[in-house]
Amino acid sequence: MPYEVTFIPGDGTGPELAEATRRVLEATGVEFSWDEQPAGEDVYREEGNPFPERTLESIKRTKVGIKGPTTTPVGSGFRSINVQLRTELDLYACIRPSKAYERVRTRFPETDIVIVRENTEDLYAGIEFEKGSEDNAKLREFLGGLGAPIREDAGISIKPISVFGTERIVEAAFDYAESNGRGRVTAAHKANIMKFSDGLFLEKARQVAERHPEIEFEDRIIDNLCNQLVSRPEEYDVIVLPNLYGDIVSDLGAGMIGGLGLAPGANIGTEAAMFEATHGSAPKYKGLNKVNPTALMLSGVLMLRHLGEFAAADRMEGAIAATIAKGEKVTYDLKPTRDDPTAVGTSEFADAVIEEMNK
Ligand code: NAD
Determine the pLDDT at residue 205.
98
Q: Do the Cβ atoms of 85 and 66 come closer than 8 Å?
A: no
Find the 244 Cα to ligand 1 centroid distance in Å: 20
Residue 147, CB-side half-sphere exposure with 13 Å CA sphere: 0
- Exposure string for 307-330, b = 16+ CB within 10 A, e = fewer: bebeebbebbbebbbbbbeeeebb
Lowest-pLDDT range of 51-65, 79-93, 151-165, 341-355: 79-93
Which range has the worst mean pLDDT, 180-189, 194-203, 235-244, 256-265? 256-265
Q: How many helices (H) and strands (E) does the chain have?
A: 12, 12
Active site residue 124: yes
Q: Is the dihedral of CA 233, 21, 18, 86 positive or negative?
A: negative
48 CB neighbour count, 10 Å cutoff: 10
303 lines ligand 1 (CB under 6 A): no
Strand pairing class (184-189; 216-221): parallel
Asked if 92 is an active-site residue, the reply is no
Q: What is the pLDDT of residue 76?
A: 64
Per-residue pLDDT, 75: 66
Confidence of residue 180 (pLDDT cuts 50, 70, 90): very high
Alpha carbon distance 143, 133 (integer Å): 15
Q: What is the mean pLDDT of the chain?
A: 95
**Taking 90 as the threshold, does the pLDDT of residue 82 lie above it?**
no
